[in-house]
Structures are given as C-alpha cells and as structure tokens.
A and B are shown apart, each in its own frame.
Chain A
Amino acid sequence: MSEIGEAFRDGPALIPYITAGDPDAESTKAQVRALARGGADIIELGLPFSEPIADGPTIQNAIQRSLDAGMTPQSYLDLVADLDVAVPIVCMTYYNLIYQYGDEPVRAFVEAAAEAGISGLIVPDLPVEESDDLRAACDEFGLDLIFIVAPTTKGERLDRVMEQVSGFVYVQARLGTTGAQADVSTQTHDSLGRLATYDVPKAVGFGVSEGHHAREIVAAGADGVVAGSVFVDLIASGENVTSNLERKARELAEGARTGFEQRVPRPERT
C-alpha cells in the first residue's frame, strides 16, 4: 500500500491544505509541523500557479502572496525536501507548472517531486482525459495521482475517473471553487452515495471548516476530510499562526473521529 493509502488505515484521515511560501518558505515549514502536531494524516501543500481557476478568493490570495514572495517550483521542491515530518505530502498544483519544469515535460517534474519526498499529486485542471503522460510518470516514480470527482461526475464518467484514481479520491463537496462554507452541502451526501461501491479511500473537501462538518462528513461515509481555506485564513490573519493551525487541525481530526464512531455500519461493505 502507498504511504497515502496507509494514512487511511487507522480511522478517518485529516488532510489540511496550505499554500507553500505563504508568507515565506520558513513559515511554511513551521506551519506543516503544527498541522502534523494537530493530527494531520496527509498534508496537501500547494505549489502556487498564477491562474488558479479551481480556487476561490482565499486560496487565490494565498497564492498571490506566495508568488510575490518569490516561490518557484524549484524552491517549492527544495522546501519539501527540507521538511522533517513523517506525514505524507501531496503536491497540489496546476498542469502548466508540471509541464514546464525541467527539460522533459511532465516526467522531469514527477522525478524531482519523488526525489523531494512527495507522495502524490493533485492537479485540478487535469481531467482524466488529458492525464496519460502524468499517469505514466507517476507510475514510474511511485507517486499516487489523486483525481477529483465533482457533484457533476456521474454514471459512466464516474467509472472512468475512478479507474484512474490512486491513493484516494478527492470528493468535491459542492459545485464551484474552494472556500470555507458554513454548512455541509447535501451534494456531499449524494456524492458519497454514488461512490459507496468503489473500494478507494474517499476524502471530502471544498468548504470544510469546522469540527462538526468533519463529523457529519465522516459519519456519512467519508474516509477523510480535506480542509484548506480555513487554515489559509488562519495564516493570513498572521496572529499565533502555528498554535491556531494546530488547534484547528485537532478540532477537525476530533470531529472526524467522532463521526467515525457515529457511523452507521454498512453491512454491504467488504
């Protein structure tokens, strides 16, 4: 089982997202440590791209701060190589950066990512239709390639996406872009229902910001929760960042655990 797969073995996984280099590389290292202390099982570390069309204003602004501070794909990989946490790191970025890195489009980036210790990739502007090259490189270097399924992904298309997923499937909780929300969308429950028969860990993200969201999502059958904007907001506030990140992670992890205990056992699951 991959490192990412392992992270789902002992109960529900908490997967925080932060943007690398926001506000600078040194702070990112401390933020990652704080999230790990708070109970993160996997950390999604954003590699900033200038046109983040899948992200809402919160993460878009974080990306801008990081780019303004000079973050590049190379300094990102250096930062990851320098991290001293046991939690697997997933790189979330957009395809053009993967395509432009090094001399050999796509493969050079994946090779360097593997060397830096990255366990998986999420590329929100790369649907399965366009992913052959990246899939091949990820297989070659042992990275998981995580795909997103949206509330609009149904029927035969869902099969096609699920065939390609490795590590876990990222269940987009609602239509639109990333951003903290006040409630758990009913689309989450519908999506988890459609996915129930697929034997791949399911992590729900887009809008998750509170412990009770995590509880509800895991109780509804998810194997993990992804939360990004809520952490990015704590970073943006600039006050007591690491202790706030740790506390928030703990709250979400605790919520997920409670949800797992409340989960109605599903007899048909093997």
Chain B
Amino acid sequence: MSDSPAKFGDYGGQYVPEVLMPAIEELTDAYERYVLENEDGFMDDFRARLRDFGGRPTPLQHAEQLSARYGTEVYLKREDLVHGGAHKLNNALGQVLLAKYMGKERIVAETGAGQHGTATAMAAAHLGMDCEVYMGRRDITRQRPNVFRMRINGSKVNPVDVGRGTLKEAINETMRDWATNVEDTHYVIGSVVGPHPFPRMVRDFQSVISEEARAQIREKTGGLPDSVVACAGGGSNTMGAFHNFVPDEDVALYAVEAGGSSLDVDEETGVAPNSASLSTGSVGVLHGARTRLLQSRDGQILESHSISSGLDYAGVGPELAHLVDTGRVTPVTVPDDAALEAFHRFSQEEGIIPALETAHAIAYLETADDLGESVIVNISGRGDKDLESVLEETAKRDLANAPEMGVFE
C-alpha cells in the first residue's frame, strides 16, 4: 500500500464518495500530464503567470532586528508580497489554470481566513472562470475584508452556518457542491489536504517557495540554512517552504501549529481549543485522506480553535503527518497570546504586518531552543485581513507590547 502514489507511508489515499471518483481520476490524469510532464507547456504557462500576474519571485529578506534579538541570522521569505497578500495564490493560480486546461467551466473553493478564497477569486477573474467560495459564518465575521475582495473580483461567497462555522464546515459544503456539479466544476482545495492527487499537486504548486528560498539563501550566504520555520494549518505553506529542503538532512524543519488557548480537549463541550493536529491529534480519515486529526475516541471530529482562522482546522496534510512520523519535520505549538504578541512585535520592529497565521511562525523564534546560525521564516501572508480581529483580541488581553488601539473620534 505505501508504494501507491496516492499515499505517504500509510497516510493519504482517496476517501471520497463514489460520485467524485471519476473526477478525481480525471484530475490525477491531468496532474500527471500537465504538471509532471508539462504537456502543452502548462508549467511554462503557470510559471510565466506566477511571475507576471503573481509577482514572483518573492524576496528573501534579511531581518536585522530579529537577527539581533535572537542571535541568529533570520531570513524572511516574503510570501506576503505575492499578489493577494499570501502564498495561497501559488496554488490557486496553478489549480484554476489546470481546470482551464481540463476544459472545466466553473470553480468552487472553501476558505478559512479568506486568503485562499481571495487568491482563487483573483485567479478565476484573471482566467475568466466562474467561481463560488464557501466560507464559515464565523470566519466571515472574522475576515470581512477578504469577503469584500472575493465579491469585488466577481466571485460569489456562500456562508456556511453548520457547526462552528469555520474551515472544516466550509470544506464539507464545498465537497457537496462539487458532488452536485462535478461534471463541469473543479474544486480548488486550499491546502495540501484532501484526496490524492490534491496533497501532491498543491505541494508541487507551493514548492516554488523553497525552490526560490534555497537558491536565494545560497546566493546570500553560500550555504543552506540551519532551520526553516513555517506555520501549519492544512500545511500548504509549510510543505511549500520545506519541500526542496527535505533531502537536506542537516536543515531542521519546524511546523508551527496553533496552540490556541490550551492543548487539552474540553471534554464537556467536545472542543479542542487548539488546532494542533500534528502535536496532539491521532490517525483517522477526514476530507478524503487518512491523516492526523483532532477527534474524539469514537472518531467524531472535534471543533478546533485558533485566533487565526487560517489555522483553525482539525486536520493536516498527509505528507506533513508522514514527515513528522519519520522524524524529518518537528511539530511545535504556539498559543494564541504569544501569536498576538508576536504580531505586534514584528509589526513594530520589522515594519511588516504579518497575518495572524504567520505570527505563529514568528512567535516560535521567541521560545525556540536552537535554530542554529541561520533560519528562514516563511512569512506566509500579510495581516491586513486581520486588523479587525487583532483590534478585538488585543482589547481582551493585557499584552505588554500592545499599541494604542482605540478608535479616533
């Protein structure tokens, strides 16, 4: 089984309703031909669009204040500078373009933070495709600017009221839409999750991050970094930032998960007040793949929590789970409070407002034991979308570095 291209060790697979299987076979075939074999020049087209529409390559910036603070050379991979403000465009553009090559007419997507929805809406507008995005009601209220951006780009945003109204529920609803409209519709899944071939394909589209970063750091330092740090929700920016370093055994890889308010499960409410599926989860099957999940002993999926909606998910990509099991990737956690504090510190000291997701990766530097002499931190996205949440969450806390957040009269 583990030799199957659909698996990473025992993780991965294709656990979806039969109605979707023919579409998944068709997609697997298209992925192999266009992405892996560059049929019809697909990858050339994709790379050119990533450059001209997407703004790649992104810089690898030396962070002076952070380097001084942590006594190690800190380099920032600036995915926040990709068009749309996050790494998400790398994948969204790849998949919408692939859908177009496949002759599909309609795009559906789920979104948590709204960043993937925004990237998909932008790619769909750019390539002239119809697009509908499902988003949990709670996330809609947390990430209003992205809701407007999606609509402005011509996409329809469908609120999802089920459950806690976050990413997990949005994925369920998008799968249902796909199952209803599978003949002309492609589901642009937003992370390295879901049934094969999504985890591999999304990783391939995102691996441009580590491809560039690896060349850039060699150019700057003549060698490889000692460690790479990235935040993990589903794990797409993590896998993108890690992929080309995986064979470099001397480069330590840290996946930073959302520790939320606690790493324990609240037995009474059945809520895991975190999204740390690599650190605290167990093996199960969700959204098309066998992977690590936050679940009850019976196998019911738990509601997760994070201050950042893009990390607020009970599952994680199967390849990342496999790399953790084999010891290649180290999972670590950062709680809500520390992420918020890092958000402010980074904004003040480096002049970059990070996404709350990204703030988790940055916060890890504060507690890390030994990152070596140089570290690359993947700045997965910019924080404009989070300003309302930051205002609200900062007001709830007694943060030493909180700026004046009152509204001007």
Residues of chain A having any CB pair with chain B under 8 Å: 49-54, 56, 60, 64, 67, 72-74, 94-97, 99-101, 124-127, 129-130, 147-154, 157, 161, 172, 175-177
Contact = CB atoms under 8 A, between A and B. Distances in A.
Contact of B18 (A51, A56, A99, A147): A147
Contacts of B182: 152, 175
B16 interface: yes
A181 to B, nearest CB: 12
Given A50-B163, A51-B172, 15 more contacts: A49-B299, A51-B168, A60-B162, A96-B284, A100-B297, A125-B288, A149-B18, A152-B20, A152-B21, A153-B21, A154-B22, A157-B22, A175-B179, A175-B180, A176-B19
A99 B283 CA distance: 9
Interface of B: 6, 13-23, 25, 162-163, 168, 172, 175-176, 179-183, 284-288, 293, 295, 297-301
A129 B299 contact: no
Contact of B298 (A54, A73, A127): A73
A55 to B, nearest CB: 8
A175 B19 CA distance: 7
Nearest to A61: B162
24 contacts: A49-B299, A51-B287, A53-B17, A64-B162, A67-B300, A74-B298, A96-B286, A96-B301, A97-B300, A99-B285, A100-B297, A124-B17, A125-B15, A125-B16, A127-B18, A127-B21, A130-B13, A150-B18, A152-B19, A153-B22, A157-B21, A157-B25, A175-B180, A176-B180
Contact of A53 (B13, B176, B183, B300): B176
A130 B15 contact: yes
B13 A99 contact: no
A156 B298 CA distance: 36
A96 B295 CA distance: 10
Contacts of A153: 18-19, 21-22
Closest 8 CB pairs of A and B: A100-B299, A176-B180, A150-B19, A50-B300, A96-B299, A152-B22, A96-B285, A54-B17
Contact of B285 (A60, A72, A125): A125
B106 to A, nearest CB: 13
A130 B14 contact: yes
Contacts of B175: 53
A177 B25 contact: no
Contacts of B162: 60, 64
A64 B23 CA distance: 29
Given A100-B284, A130-B13, A175-B181, A152 B23 contact: yes
A94 B360 CA distance: 34
B21 to A, nearest CB: 5
B285 A56 contact: no
A148 B287 CA distance: 18
Contacts of B16: 53, 125, 127
Contact of B179 (A64, A147, A177): A177
Given A60-B162, A100-B295, A176-B176, A148 B301 contact: no
B297 to A, nearest CB: 7
B172 A49 contact: no
A101 B299 contact: yes
Contact of B301 (A51, A130, A176): A51
A101 B285 CA distance: 13
Given A175-B181, A176-B180, A177-B179, A150 B15 contact: no
A175 to B, nearest CB: 5
Contacts of B299: 49, 73, 96-97, 99-101
Contacts of B21: 127, 129, 150, 152-153, 157
Nearest to A123: B15
A51 B180 contact: no
A204 to B, nearest CB: 14
Nearest to A160: B21
Contacts of A94: 285
A99 B286 CA distance: 11
A49 B300 contact: yes
A94 B284 CA distance: 11
Nearest to B24: A127
Contacts of A152: 18-23, 182-183
Contacts of A124: 17-18
Contacts of A50: 163, 300-301
A104 to B, nearest CB: 14
A19 to B, nearest CB: 14
Nearest to A175: B180
B291 to A, nearest CB: 11
A99 B25 CA distance: 25
Nearest to B299: A100
B301 to A, nearest CB: 5
Contacts of B20: 152
Nearest to B25: A157
